[in-house]
Amino acid sequence: MRKVRIIELGHFYRYTLKNKWLIKIENKNINFIKNDPIGFVVLDENKQRVGKVLDIIGNVNSPYALVEPFPHYNPPKEVYIELVEKVRRK
């Protein structure tokens, strides 16, 4: 069984690398060691799926997410991430 959490990731910063999005990560509470966001789905303000995280780049204090957008989507102002966690059985 899986548990899905929706967490605010940050905001759109700029286009880069042939139409990929660079997202400025503003949520400092995400533990990238425990929850590796690479491959997870990116959501917009309306909780619609708009892309997928390709990589986390930049400084530890000010990281950026490189996002591959799904076709026919414009970059949203605020970006959320859909974290999928496995539920442990006791």
Query: What per-residue confidence (pLDDT) applies to 1?
Result: 64
Q: In terms of Cα–Cα distance, which of 43, 47, 4 is closest to 23?
A: 43
CB 5 within 8 A of CB 52: no
pTM score of the predicted model = 0.81
The topology under which CATH files domain 2-86 is Thrombin, subunit H (2.40.10)
> Helix count (H) and strand count (E) of the chain?
0, 6
In this predicted structure, the answer to whether residue 22 has a pLDDT above a threshold of 90 is yes
For 40-69, what is the mean pLDDT? Answer: 90
For 83-90, what is the mean pLDDT? Answer: 75
CB 7 within 8 A of CB 79: no
Q: In terms of Cα–Cα distance, which of 44, 70, 65 is closest to 54?
A: 65
Structural tokens at position 80: 């959320």
Q: In terms of Cα–Cα distance, which of 10, 1, 3 is closest to 42?
A: 10
- The full set of domain ranges for the chain reads 2-86
Q: In terms of Cα–Cα distance, which of 26, 17, 29 is closest to 68?
A: 17
